[in-house]
Structure 1
Amino acid sequence: GLKFEHSCDLSKLQRSLEQFEGDGEDTLLRFLDFMKEPHVHYQRSRDLALRTDFQNWYDFFNIKHIPTILKLHLHNSVHTRACKYFKSDYMRKAFTFQTMYMGMSPYDGLAPYNLLQYTEIAEGIWYPKGGFNKVLQCLENLAIKYGAKFNYNSDIEEIVVDDKGVAKGIKLGNGDVVNSDTVICNADLVYAYNNLLPKTKYAKKLGKEKLTSSSIPFYWSMKQIVPQLKIHNIFLSEQFKASFDQIFEDHMLPDEPSFYV
């Protein structure tokens, strides 16, 4: 199949792009123009969504946010914006599949989500030494250092709340109740509302909401090095759009999925 190799070296990147987008300076310039857009999406989304405290839902519709919202291209999909900058279908795939990280189709995901491409390319992909499990080990060690205690292999039956709806502790599977000043729940939101907290109309409504898809990971060990593979490898389906339609519209496994190695 076709192969595209990304590089931080602009001269190498241009040669890779030209295989699909045609020769000439215009190819690299269009790519750089493409990168400018998600850069704006990244900055504006960060400032609007992460660094702004919305006390009420209507705070979002403050007139001062209008210039920012207009620059986010909320009326377009990730794929639609990519079509503006790339001529070849292959490059459009290569720079839109990242919506899969969020469990969305690039044909449905709103344009601001192309900030994923920007952060991946501009800031790189970072991995902790020792793997992600090392992060958990370090957090555990740090917590124990400051007096925290861990109760492993204990089922949580419910989060105990008082008459005012304030969480006061947890009830374990064996019936024991652990009281606390603060309860932090890291379970899936819909699961927590419907299985750990008292039943409410909101919890029932939440269970009917349209949710993003999760991934299916496989952890395989290899007996030998595969020289054809780099550290990060994306295999894109020839039936790219059809594969997303099967997942998000037909709710079935695609005949030819895209996948990451």
Structure 2
Amino acid sequence: MDPQNTEPKVLLSRAKTFRLHTGNLVNRSRMKKKCPCSTSEELRDCIQATMTDWVSMKKADFPDVLDCSLPEATDAITPEEREELKVSGQSLFMYSSSRLSSPACQTLAVSQLDSVIIAPPPPLEADQSLAHLQPAWEQLEALVRSQKIAAIGTSDLDKDLLEQLYNWAQVKPSSNQVNLASCCVMPPDLTAFAKEFDIQLLTHSDPKELMSAETFLEAMRDGAQDQSIADWRLEWVLRYSVIVKSRGIFKSKGYLVSAKRVEP
């Protein structure tokens, strides 16, 4: 086999970790022309389109961490413009308790993200608990201590759970997102607690499950044109944004996706 023309399915069968970067969606014209109906649909389209372009590129080695990204689609941030920009992980969707890293810093060529809001993996039972949140939060705290992230926040916590997290955490949550679908008006007790402890309340409209395991595999299969892909499991999805502070407009936005190959 020609090592300069290695088939994607061979790379996918040998790598242990898969990282995908959609590139800057503000400038990417090859996405579907129609406007996606939801974040979930946008993410699926992004994965499929990135995979489609990536499989056409020549690959020369067999890395453990497979980088599915397109250099020309990434807008790196120069040191000169960093002070004028707010670089945020708008939502970090966790699918497992896997170890977090700071790939956005490397991808966007910045030393630190201004903020990251985490959506922990869905609990096995209906109700969340502090014990369910702690592993992911401790990893974020480590990234704050290493100065990879300046501030960290949470998503969809009610007043009681937010208070438990605040009292337990070494690095306190700076914000909490509330789903617009679950409440039209902020709960008074949550509002009062957030005001007392200087926690910013934000809103979002993301679905409870951003992407199912099967939808992720389907997007990979369609993009790679390989229906045999089946042994990859989502670890996390980071939706990031880069905003020009003085103008309030997006310079770039996109997704970073991490998956782990399931050993037979």
Kindly indicate which of the two structures has a greater share of residues assigned to helix.
Answer: 1
With a CA cutoff of 8 Å and minimum separation of 6, indicate the structure with the bigger relative contact order: 2
* TM-score bracket, shorter-length normalisation: under 0.3
Larger Rg: 1
| TM-score (normalizing by structure 1) | 0.22
Kindly indicate which of the two structures has a greater share of residues assigned to strand.
Answer: 2
